[in-house]
Amino acid sequence: MASSLKSAALLEQMKLHFATEEGKKLTKKIGLVYQLNIAPKKLGVDEEIYVVDLKEGKVTKGPYDGKPDATFSFTDSDFLAMASGKLNPQMAFLRGAIKIKGSISAAQKFTPDIFPKPSKL
Amino acid sequence: MAMRDLVTGGAACAVPGSSSSSNPFGALANAILGSSSKTQELKGLPGSAVNVPEASSDYRPAAPLTTIPGSEYESQQDQRPDARTSEFLHGFHSTDHGGLAEAWDEIHRSPVFPPAQFRENEAHFEEFERVYNANPLQPTWDGPPQRVLSSVLHSFLGSDQAGVPFRPTALPVLGLSEGDKQCIRDRSCIMARHIFADKSEEYIQSQVNALLHSLDIDSNHQIRGSMHGPHSELEGYWNESQGAMIPRMPNPVDGWITEFSQQRENDNPAAWANSFEQMHGANGWASEFEQDLKMGHMRDANLANLAAMEQSRMLAQTLGQNRDPKFQKSKFLQFVSKMSRGELIIDENQIKPGTNSLAGDWANEYQAQYDVGPKSWADQFQQEELSRGTDNWVHEFSKEHQRPDEKWVDEFSKLNMNDWVEEFGQQVSEGAFGESSADVWADDYDKYLDDQLRASKQRSGASRGVYVFSDMNPYVGHPNPLKEGQELFRKGLLSEAVLALEAEVLKNPDNAEGWRLLGITHAENDDDQQAIAAMMRAQEADPSNLEVLLALGVSHTNELEQAEALKYLYRWLQNHPKYGSLAPVQQADSLYYADVARLFNEAAQMSPEDADVHVVLGVLYNLSREYDKAIAAFQEALKIKPRDYSLWNKLGATQANSVQSADAILAYQQALDLKPNYVRAWANMGISYANQGLYEDSIRYYVRALAMNPKAENAWQYLRISLSCASRNDLFAACDSRNLDVLQKEFPL
């Protein structure tokens, strides 16, 4: 309950997902490191930084130690929308809703299917 | 099911070329299928074996019906053996339509329908007539074919009760329009899934096919895609750019667009070009356009350029397809294509060549490399560069790096430009973007616009907690919509129940029970946004209702809104007659999770036999992601209430979230055995399969959930993701146009 971001909950689930067969396949398939700067409301304001490491199969809080393959800046709700397939990252990028630094081919592999879907009570 | 939508022209099923709400066949199918569903019993539902004969009296109130315009027809129709009808019947008996007469008699004499049901049939007619007569635009009442149709539909619905499959019957030509057929087809497909929820998919298919065959309706998929041609698409893009540039490009451009689109509708481009030339001279257009642009106040030139280039690219593409040589040489086309290539940019109301800056050089160089390659990417990329403009880039970079501008150039080129170019070229040669990346982009763009539209709609509505009502609701005016809604809910006809309950809360906006049940129904139908909105209203009306507070806690948990969820779960405790004393009153805003959890544990110790406390505890542990404890809590609750399907689903969802997908599927199966139409459990099944990498299976479950509630937004998104993971990109079109027929055929369950 440390973070008030909705994205944090999803990333927690991602942690667990990496423990499964399917999660392990992801690291083989993608093998890249993404840094996510997630802001509660406005891009760049009060960002929380997470690293989704698809090389090692882990999610950590705080900036990456080294150079991530791609760094994304999202708002909380845009990240969720992207992870659930509601928002196309390429179009969001063009609209300025997402900022991307780093390799574009790495960025293009950042797609909704790498995230587990939360089940509903 | 959004059955009503299908027929009455709701967004989910717009039938091209038919205004379904105003056609008598549609209305008939609506009345028959909709209201007859009341007589259906869902086998899998314990305790719901309801025969509704007495309820039918509710259908015959004199008062509301007479107030409807056109009710004069009704009295005529009510006296059944009126001249025309009997003449019609006579005609049938005397001619050779033996099969029809048989079917007709079967329906009216068959022991399948007890006497009580007869009365109800009349009630259906009444309802139908009410719907029909509400539309005075079609005064030519042509009784016989409707009657025939209604009989057929009735016998179709009755076939479940009778336990015998529906037999195809020979019928006279009914003269159904394409639109009518589509309505009946769609509606009966979904209805059949409800009626025969306990039967196999093949059985349902064959039933529907038999019905459709009798009615001479092609059971194959009929193209339902949008009718928009390239022209309206163009207009759409253009309008979008207007949206982006409203403050900067006021009326003159609008006028031009209107004129343009008007002209565009003339099918003869040559005539169009001619008339335009006559009006403005061959080159007048371009200059007029320029003028218009200048007149606009472009405050943010960069953004405008991005949008303008995108628009002009689209425009150029579309215009370029026009083969007329005169047009191809026109200055306007040249102008537009220059704009689209970035050779011209619009800056401070001026049109300038785009090469006056560093960025321009970059762009040129970049483009030179790319002239062979896929244009659209280059364009998009270039736009991005241009739109930020040199200034922005410099600022951004110098801010970040605190270095002079020259270094930035080095830095930047070192950084990734060449990498990107190479990578991109590689990907293209690998075919990563398919053969026509331009199309893909256009599609994506199109979809994005849709999303934006939908998102803004949602933002203005549901997510702010405002309930969004369905457009067309046949239950408005129903004498007792609450009772109707409860009945439908109990039978698992969730989407129908939503409509009835909406009618109830429209009638009695302060009815907490109406709102509560509406919220529950939405939650079971896998729509948490609407569930929250409804529950908020229920809570307004009855602030201490425990079920409402728990439901709000659950829905907010599902939406990952932890603080909100915690607030409502705490209020549950505060308002509980037994445990209220445990909760200190003062803290409302500053809740700590640990405190709340401790209090609930105390409550659970006080009365371990209270299933509700365990349920709340389970939800709480979901919030803190202590899944093992959550699972234990739900299992405890299930010991007390083993037939609570929502508990089985909660257990399953918790197991799924703690990556025990295989267990989760067993729990969902329990839930579905108890409630076959539980859309949420079907969708959750899909999620569990997808999280295990079993995409084909997940697709089947998503499709099944969507067949029961086509408004389940999340399931549509997840379906698309699963399709992509299963490499079934060929079905994207069906998914995007929400064509369930194709998907069901491809992925039967």
B8 vs B362, higher pLDDT: B362
Most confident residue range from A110-114, B52-56, B361-365, B368-372: A110-114
Contact flag B718-A117 (C-beta cutoff 8 Å): yes
**Spatial distance between the Cα atoms of B515 and B522, rounded to a whole number of angstroms:** 10
Contact flag B423-A105 (C-beta cutoff 8 Å): yes
Does residue A60 sit within a domain? yes
B423 chain-A contacts, CB cut-off 8 A: 103-105
Q: Which of B218-222, B550-554, B564-568 has the lowest mean pLDDT?
A: B218-222
Which residue in the set B419, B563, B683 is minimally distant from A4, CB to CB? B563
Convert the pLDDT of each residue in A85-118 to its tens digit: 888 888 888 888 888 998 888 888 888 888 888 9
Q: CA nearest B419 in A: which residue?
A: A103
Q: Is the pLDDT of residue B222 over 50?
A: no
Q: What is residue B71's predicted lDDT score, i.e. its pLDDT?
A: 41
Residue B326 banded pLDDT, cuts 50, 70, 90: low
Most confident residue range from B48-62, B230-244, B707-721: B707-721
Q: Which phi-psi region, left, alpha or beta, contains residue B434 (left: φ > 0; alpha: ψ -120 to 50)?
A: left
Residue closest to B593 by CA, chosen among B564, B614, B629, B615: B564
Residue B438 corresponds to which tokens in the numbers above? 């331009």
Count of beta carbons in the 10 Å neighbourhood of residue B605: 9
A91 chain-B contacts, CB cut-off 8 A: 444-445, 447-448
Nearest-Cα distance to chain A for B405, in Å, is 19
Residue B300, classified by CB atoms within 10 Å of its CB into exposed (0-12), middle (13-18) or buried (19+), is: middle
Question: Residue B567 is inside which H or E element, if any?
Answer: helix B562-575
Its sign, for the CA torsion B59, B64, B70, B72, is positive
Helices B437-460 and B375-401, packing angle to 10 deg = 60
- Substitution target in B303, B419, B562 with the highest count of A β-carbons within 10 Å is B562
Residue B312 corresponds to which tokens in the numbers above? 């002009």
Which residue in the set B650, B659, B690 is minimally distant from A121, CB to CB? B650
Q: Which residues of A touch B (CB under 8 A)?
A: 1, 4, 6, 9-10, 12-13, 16-17, 19-22, 25, 80-81, 84-88, 90-92, 94-95, 102-105, 108, 111-113, 116-121
Average pLDDT over residues B382-386: 55
- Give the CATH architecture of domain B642-749: Alpha Horseshoe (1.25)
Contact flag B445-A91 (C-beta cutoff 8 Å): yes
The answer to whether B338 touches B344, Cβ cutoff 8 Å, is: yes
Residue B162 banded pLDDT, cuts 50, 70, 90: low
Count of beta carbons in the 10 Å neighbourhood of residue A19: 12
Which residues, in sequence order, are CB contacts of B617 under 8 Å at separation 6+? B597, B600, B601, B604, B629, B630, B633
Number of alpha carbons in the 13 Å side-chain half-sphere of residue B546: 12
Which residue in the set A9, A87, A91 is minimally distant from B562, CB to CB? A9
Q: What is residue B483's predicted lDDT score, i.e. its pLDDT?
A: 93
Residue B179 banded pLDDT, cuts 50, 70, 90: low
Percent of chain B with pLDDT over 90: 24
Contact flag A104-B554 (C-beta cutoff 8 Å): no
Residue B177 banded pLDDT, cuts 50, 70, 90: low
Domain that holds residue A85: 7-105
**Spatial distance between the Cα atoms of B536 and B543, rounded to a whole number of angstroms:** 9
| Number of domains, chain A | 1
CA angle (B47, B49, B54) in 5-degree steps: 125
What is the Cα Rg of chain B in Å?
A: 31
Percent of chain B with pLDDT over 70: 39
A90 chain-B contacts, CB cut-off 8 A: 444
Q: Is the pLDDT of residue B19 over 70?
A: no
CA B521 to the chain's CA centroid:
17
Contact flag B691-A116 (C-beta cutoff 8 Å): yes
φ, ψ at A53 (rounded to 5°): -100, 100
Most confident residue range from B44-53, B387-396, B445-454, B545-554: B545-554
Residue B461 corresponds to which tokens in the numbers above? 């509505």
What is the Cα Rg of chain A in Å?
A: 13
Q: Is the pLDDT of residue B587 over 90?
A: no
Most confident residue range from B225-229, B251-255, B339-343, B626-630: B626-630
Its sign, for the CA torsion B298, B302, B307, B311, is positive
The answer to whether B672 touches B652, Cβ cutoff 8 Å, is: no
- Substitution target in B383, B702, B721 with the highest count of A β-carbons within 10 Å is B721
Enumerate the β-bridge partners of residue A51.
A35, A60
Please give the C-alpha separations between residue B121 and each of A17, B33, B147, B153, B688, in angstroms, as whole numbers: 54, 12, 11, 11, 43
Q: Is the pLDDT of residue B310 over 60?
A: yes
| DSSP string over B678-739 | -HHHHHHHHHHHHHTT-HHHHHHHHHHHHHH-TT-HHHHHHHHHHHHHTT-GGGHHHHHTT-
**Spatial distance between the Cα atoms of B698 and B611, rounded to a whole number of angstroms:** 32
Which residues, in sequence order, are CB contacts of B191 under 8 Å at separation 6+? B1, B3, B33, B37, B157
Enumerate the β-bridge partners of residue A50.
A36, A61
Average pLDDT over residues B148-159: 64
Residue B719 banded pLDDT, cuts 50, 70, 90: very high
Helix, coil or strand: residue B436? coil
pTM above 0.90, yes or no: no
Residue closest to B711 by CA, chosen among B538, B515, B494: B494
The answer to whether A51 touches A36, Cβ cutoff 8 Å, is: yes
Q: CA nearest A13 in B: which residue?
A: B657
Does residue A113 sit within a domain? no
Residue B336 banded pLDDT, cuts 50, 70, 90: low
Does residue A81 sit within a domain? yes
Number of alpha carbons in the 13 Å side-chain half-sphere of residue B595: 13
Contact flag A6-B692 (C-beta cutoff 8 Å): no
Convert the pLDDT of each residue in A28-71 to its tens digit: 888 899 999 999 988 878 889 999 999 888 899 988 888 999 99
Residue B344 corresponds to which tokens in the numbers above? 């011209």
Please give the C-alpha separations between residue A33 and each of A100, A102, B203, in angstroms, as whole numbers: 13, 11, 50
Mean pLDDT of chain B: 67
Tokens 């008030």 belong to A4
- Substitution target in B621, B659, B709, B723 with the highest count of A β-carbons within 10 Å is B659
CA B148 to the chain's CA centroid:
33
Where does B215-300 have alpha helices with state H?
230-245, 251-265, 269-280, 284-295
Q: Which of B10-24, B91-105, B353-367 has the lowest mean pLDDT?
A: B10-24
Residue A73 sits in a domain whose CATH number is 3.30.1050.10
**Spatial distance between the Cα atoms of B627 and B661, rounded to a whole number of angstroms:** 13
Nearest-Cα distance to chain B for A75, in Å, is 15
Contact flag B528-A120 (C-beta cutoff 8 Å): yes
Residue B145 banded pLDDT, cuts 50, 70, 90: low
Pairing of strands A58-61, A48-53: antiparallel
Does residue A111 sit within a domain? no
Q: Is the pLDDT of residue B724 over 60?
A: yes
B424 chain-A contacts, CB cut-off 8 A: 104-105
Q: Is the pLDDT of residue B554 over 90?
A: yes
Nearest-Cα distance to chain B for A119, in Å, is 5
> Which ipTM was obtained for this model?
0.91
Task: Give Dmax over CA atoms of chain B in angstroms.
Answer: 99
Type of residue at B448: Y
Type of residue at B606: M
Counting other chains too, the contacts that B258-267 makes at CB distance below 8 Å and 24 or more residues apart are: B261/B231, B261/B235, B264/B231, B264/B234, B264/B235, B265/B231
Does residue A1 sit within a domain? no
B401 chain-A contacts, CB cut-off 8 A: none
Which residue in the set B423, B528, B653 is minimally distant from A104, CB to CB? B423
Q: What is residue A104's predicted lDDT score, i.e. its pLDDT?
A: 85
How many contacts, defined by CB atoms under 8 Å, are there between A and B? 116
B331 vs B388, higher pLDDT: B331
A9 chain-B contacts, CB cut-off 8 A: 560, 562, 625
Nearest-Cα distance to chain B for A62, in Å, is 19
**Spatial distance between the Cα atoms of B492 and B81, rounded to a whole number of angstroms:** 37
**Spatial distance between the Cα atoms of B21 and B7, rounded to a whole number of angstroms:** 7
Ranges of each domain in chain B: 146-353, 544-628, 642-749
Most confident residue range from B158-162, B443-447, B566-570, B593-597: B566-570
Type of residue at B411: E
Enumerate the β-bridge partners of residue B344.
B353
Residue A105 corresponds to which tokens in the numbers above? 């081919």
Which residue in the set B444, B593, B623 is minimally distant from A91, CB to CB? B444
Q: Is the pLDDT of residue B397 over 60?
A: no
φ, ψ at B310 (rounded to 5°): -60, -50
Most confident residue range from B174-183, B602-611, B694-703: B694-703
Helix, coil or strand: residue B430? coil
